[in-house]
Structure 1
Amino acid sequence: MKTRLLALICLFSSFISLASVPFSEKKALVNLYYATDGEHWTIPWDLNAPVETWYGVKISDEHVVSLNLHSNNLRGELPASISELTYLTELNLASNKLGGTIPRSIGELRDLRSLELFLNEFVGFLPVEIGNLDQLEFLSLYHNKFKGPIPSTFNKLENLEIIQLGRNHFSGYFPVQLCELKKLEHLSLHDNLFEGELPAEIAQLSNLEELIITNNKFSGYLPLSLNKLKHLTTLMLKKNSFTKDYHSFTDHMPKDYLSLEPGSVVTDY
């Protein structure tokens, strides 16, 4: 342990002359490397080379602004020190084998515009601190093992345009807090454990183009307010327990983009 610590100290010291980014950001990257079995990444980093040469790292004005390690065989857990990358606008760790929970410190990445963690093995509840990412435009967490309700703090993600939460174990009622996100265009909650009725507040999503909630436990009548979503072109409701009266909501929609239960008035499926 002492030998490895000494090696890390020497390595960090050498970074001062090798790269143009702050020490705290270099240290956060190295922590991520070791926490996710960097030696066995598909494309590993040469820690003796300048940071700007590391695969997936983009630097602007001497700060790390983008980290894209999609499909790079990362294993382990996301370290809390990821929060030291305070200038990040893009974090893409999708299609890896990351597990554990998302660290609460993720909420300190206040410049983040895109967060992609889909196709991993994350578990547990989503941290409420994600609600602090008020610049976020794209959030993709599908195909993990998250559980519980969607945090109420998500109503603060006022710049969010796309949210993909499908194929997890989320539960509870439809996350009505998402109805406050006026810029939202794509909402995907499919393959979870949500239940109850869709709220009338869904009409507040005036820019919504895609609503995908297949394979949950939703029930009851669709709210009349759904008809106010004039930009809606994709509506997927299959494998729920809705009362099958869709005609007032679907007449204006292209049939190719409807996915409804057999027996409804739309017979294409």
Structure 2
Amino acid sequence: MKKTLLTLCSVLCCAVLFAQVPATEKQALLDLYVDTQGDQWINTWDLNEAVADWHGVTVENDHVVSISLLFNNLNGKLPASLGNLSKLRILELSFNKLNGEIPAQLGQLSNLEVLALNANGLSGTIPETLGALSKLKQLHMSSNKLTGTVPASLGNLTAVEVFNVFDNDLKGSLPAELASNNNLRELMIAENDFVNTEIFSVVLLSNSGSGLNLKSPSLSPQAKTIIAIESPEDGN
């Protein structure tokens, strides 16, 4: 009996030790590795190790919940399969060499709280699908090559606290719903060509802290509060 219990305990311990994330989630990570030249990353992955041991990957309850690969020399396009990481809460890929468009499939990440893609070479438009990220608290897309307008659907991001599209080639109107969002505390929109910045009561300095450059008529009396902000790598 005692031997049976010891054997059972050993099996359970091994099951926990070697627990695997779902195949679709592991494949999404492998796609990211291949599509962004993972063998050239500064901190690369040993694909023979458990996913939980891969640099920048956090696994909880056998699901990938966080990917943080800042300053890691990712070079290439983001794979659409990232949208299969259903439990992902944090996707932090800032300060790399990502290019191409932001996959619309990121809008499937219903648990996502932080999406950070600052300082890459991403182009194209912001996907309308990102408006479905109901739990998103931080959106960072500064210093890319994004064009077009900010989709009206992003006005549905009622939980968003930080909205950062600083230094792109965006134009037109920002979603009016953002201006009435009581959760919004940091708005970084300088170095674009927006036309309705006067509707916002809180306007923030650019990441450099050098001042406002909204490329729009002077701010209305509503813009009463100007707050210097810290860049995301300092903890925001």
TM-score, normalised via structure 2 length: 0.73
Kindly provide the amino acid, as one letter, of the partner of residue 158 in structure 1. S
**Percent identity between the aligned chains?**
29
Match of 2:189 among 208, 213, 217: 213
- Partner in structure 1 of residue 219 of structure 2: 245
* DSSP 3-state at the match of 1:147: strand
How many residues matched?
208
State how 1:14-93 maps to structure 2 within 5 Å. 20-22=18-20, 24=23, 28=27, 36-37=38-39, 41-42=42-43, 45=46, 47=48, 55-56=55-56, 58-61=58-61, 63=62, 87-93=63-69
Deviates more, 1:154-163 or 1:20-29: 20-29
Q: 1: distance between equivalents of 2:54 and 2:123? A: 34
Kindly provide the amino acid, as one letter, of the partner of residue 222 in structure 1. T
Kindly provide the amino acid, as one letter, of the partner of residue 241 in structure 1. K
Gaps of 5+ in 1: 1-15, 64-86, 259-269
Q: 2: distance between equivalents of 1:21 and 1:181? A: 34
Aligned pair in 2 of structure 1 residues 193, 46: CA closer, same or farther (>3 Å)? closer
Partner deviation per Cα, 1:16-73 (whole Å, 9 max, x = no partner): 99x61238489757777675117x75576494x6666655555545x3xxxxxxxxxx
Q: 2: distance between equivalents of 1:50 and 1:147? A: 33
Aligned pair in 2 of structure 1 residues 235, 207: CA closer, same or farther (>3 Å)? farther
- Partner in structure 2 of residue 70 of structure 1: none
CA contact (8 A) 2:178 2:184 kept: no
Match of 1:257 among 200, 225, 228: 228
Q: 2: distance between equivalents of 1:51 and 1:222? A: 44
Q: 1: distance between equivalents of 2:31 and 2:154? A: 34
Q: 1: distance between equivalents of 2:169 and 2:219? A: 23
Shift of 1:206: 2.2
- Partner in structure 1 of residue 70 of structure 2: 94
2:134 counterpart of 1:132: no
Q: 1: distance between equivalents of 2:197 and 2:42? A: 47
Partner deviation per Cα, 1:51-110 (whole Å, 9 max, x = no partner): 66655555545x3xxxxxxxxxxxxxxxxxxxxxxx111011221111221111111101
Q: 2: distance between equivalents of 1:113 and 1:167? A: 23
Deviates more, 1:180-189 or 1:192-201: 192-201
CA contact (8 A) 2:69 2:93 kept: yes
Aligned pair in 2 of structure 1 residues 111, 96: CA closer, same or farther (>3 Å)? same
Q: 2: distance between equivalents of 1:196 and 1:124? A: 22
